[in-house]
Amino acid sequence: MVAIYDSITDLLDVCIKHLKRSNKIDTSDFSLEECLFRSFDEIVRRQLDSVWHTITPQTKQVSSMLDLHIQILIQLKMYHIHT
């Protein structure tokens, strides 16, 4: 279980680093800790909405993967609580 959690957090870290390389959005408060404890995917989506037509397809995919990885972590925590 710990290995799965660590792998997903590594993937989240890679997604955050990719978003930080984008100069289109404010990434000053982007970190793995913020990602785990706030509605981080909504914050990223709100920032990307205004520039959605100018970002690369890769950044769009990273944005959706970020949401997916966060949802997987939430489900993993819920599963761990019930077992």
Say what the pLDDT of residue 11 is.
92
Q: Please tell me the total count of domains within the chain.
A: 1
**Among 59, 13, 60, 18, residue whose Cα is nearest residue 36:** 13
User: What distance in Å separates the CA atoms of residue 26 and residue 62, rounded to the nearest whole number?
Assistant: 16
The answer to whether the pTM exceeds 0.85 is no
User: What distance in Å separates the CA atoms of residue 14 and residue 17, rounded to the nearest whole number?
Assistant: 5
Q: For residue 28, give its domain range.
A: 2-82
- All residue ranges of the chain with pLDDT < 70 are 38, 80-83
Say what the pLDDT of residue 82 is.
64
